[in-house]
Amino acid sequence: MQSLNRQAIALISDHADPAAAVGGEEAGGQNVYVRHVGENLATLGWQVDMFTRKVHSDDADIVQHSPHCRTIRLRAGAESYIPRDKLFDHMPEFVQSFQAFQRTHGLNYPLIHTNYWLSAWVGLELQKTSAIQLLHTYHSLGAVKYQSVQNRPQSADTRLKVEREILEKANCVIATSPQEENTLRSQVSTHGKIEMIPCGTDTSNFRLMSKLDARRQLQLNLHEQIVLYVGRFDPRKGIETLVRACALLKEKGVNNLKLMIVGGSSPHMPDGEERNRIEKIVCELGLKSEVMFAGQIGHDVLPLYYTAADVCVIPSHYEPFGLVAIEAMACGTPVVASDVGGLKFTIIPEETGLLVPPQDINAFAHGIHRILFDELWARKMRKQASANVIQRFTWGGVAIQLSELYRHVLAQSIMHEQPRNLRKPDLKNVLNSSFSKKSF
């Protein structure tokens, strides 16, 4: 439903469909971010259209999430899975489909918030031909990613160039942690505006519940010590480190340990290959009866898994933000995580969890052991972890900050003289709210 009284804005998320189920190869934190940001912005008075690439021919072209928030799937390449590294070739078609959608529906978005570098390229193209205000969230940074991969994809140089260009040419980019902000400044560009606005979580869903009830509902043993991993199967996520840490714990005599691995995978896809690799390591280490692969679990049931666990482990080699950490903490589950990226920002060491060097099997084993065998401390952390998330990381709070930033950017665009033939945003709606006190 479109509304004349609302300012329409576009969120662009090329490969991460906000209407898709999360937990598999192409669906993770970015899908969750765009969907929740979109829905919460709509409750603040915006008309939010979220654009993504159509991947399956039987998917609906438009999914209405709430009266003023919808996902729109655009044609850009074949309606089938295309690996992210091969998507750049289809972005010109994405731009054309986006422009055609605007023309057909008589829309003209004055503000576009892009997500991931491929969408950034789309935004920069649109900026060349229309008077848009452009904002961007990276979700992942080539400059960091390519430090740890042996074979850089063909698109690597283009990606690095686009990631620099968006920082220098957008009205503002959003860093989701101070660590990301520092990386942007030191490794991407010293020019351009950056605002730090974190990611959030749905604290009405991810909340404190009874561990006993959760275990009963999931039919899990009440006496086992449950270590949980939630996330995609991707070598960068470091599941191997966690499996090896559990093997070490078993070797040291911890014999009632269960490692629960939550995350989707499909055969013949990269996540299926990673799952096979992990299963092979599990067998080699003689851990078959200690490890349970739960598959992809939706956000409706996931709080039970976090609650049932004694500790949630995030062994990523790098993590720009890491939604799983705040979801686990919101449920009161302490975390042991790699001391990298956004995890340094969300986790308070010794109070809500522990940070250890990435890929350090001994350090992970030691951290997990400390939490499993100090029940009093773990209980204390439970309350502190959930309070930390409620105070700092709700989607409602994130959307308020983004909304203020949008209004500020739109108001600034109105203040600056614009050519007569370019349509301006609806002044009444843009100004109809207090501006941020933040300085730009």
Binding footprint of ligand UDP on the chain (CB under 6 A): 22-23, 28-30, 32, 230-232, 262-264, 296-297, 299, 302, 321-324, 327
**Among the residues of 55-189, which ranges form H helices?**
91-105, 117-129, 142-145, 156-169, 178-183
Least distance CB 105 / ligand UDP (angstroms): 31
Kindly report the backbone phi and psi dihedral angles of residue 123, in degrees, each rounded to the nearest multiple of 5, phi listed first: -60, -40
Tokens of 104: 């057909």
Q: Which is nearer to ligand UDP, 28 or 192 (CB)?
A: 28
SS3 string, 179-227, reads HHHHHHHHHHCCCCCEEECCCCECCCCCCCCCHHHHHHHCCCCCCCEEE
Tell which residue, 291, 372, 295, 373, has the closest CA to residue 333. 372
- The distance of closest approach from Cβ of residue 374 to ligand UDP in the complex, given in angstroms and rounded to an integer, is 26
Minimal distance, residue 31 CB to ligand UDP, in Å: 7
- How many angstroms separate the CA atoms of 423 and 109, rounded? 10
Nearer to ligand UDP, 28 or 315 (CB): 28
Q: Which residues contact 131 (CB under 8 A, 6 or more apart)?
A: 110, 413, 418, 419, 422, 423, 424
CB of 227 to ligand UDP, least distance (A): 16
Residue 138, CA distances (Å) to 144, 186, 438 in order: 12, 15, 21
Nearer to ligand UDP, 262 or 311 (CB): 262
Q: Min. distance of Cβ 316 from ligand UDP in angstroms?
A: 8
The two three-digit tokens of residue 378, written as one number: 């773990």
Residues ≥6 apart with Cβ < 8 Å to 108: 102, 130, 423
**Quick one: 22 or 247, whose CB is closer to ligand UDP?**
22
Could you write out the three-class secondary structure of 337-376? EECCCCHHHHCCECCCEEEECCCCHHHHHHHHHHHHCCHH
Check: CB of residue 316 under 8 Å from CB of residue 144: no
- Least Å distance, CB 370 to ligand UDP, is 23
Nearer to ligand UDP, 207 or 424 (CB): 207
* Of 296 and 384, CB closest to ligand UDP: 296
Nearer to ligand UDP by Cβ, of 130 and 359: the residue is 359
Dmax (CA) for the chain in angstroms is 75
Distance of CA 45 to the CA centre of its chain: 24
> Which C-beta is closer to ligand UDP: that of 294 or that of 387?
294
Tell me the residue nearest to ligand UDP as measured from the CB: 28
Closest distance of CB 24 from ligand UDP, Å: 8
Q: Shortest distance, CB of residue 353 to ligand UDP, whole angstroms? A: 14
C-beta closer to ligand UDP: residue 343 or 430: 343
Q: How far is the CB of 337 from ligand UDP (least distance, A)?
A: 10
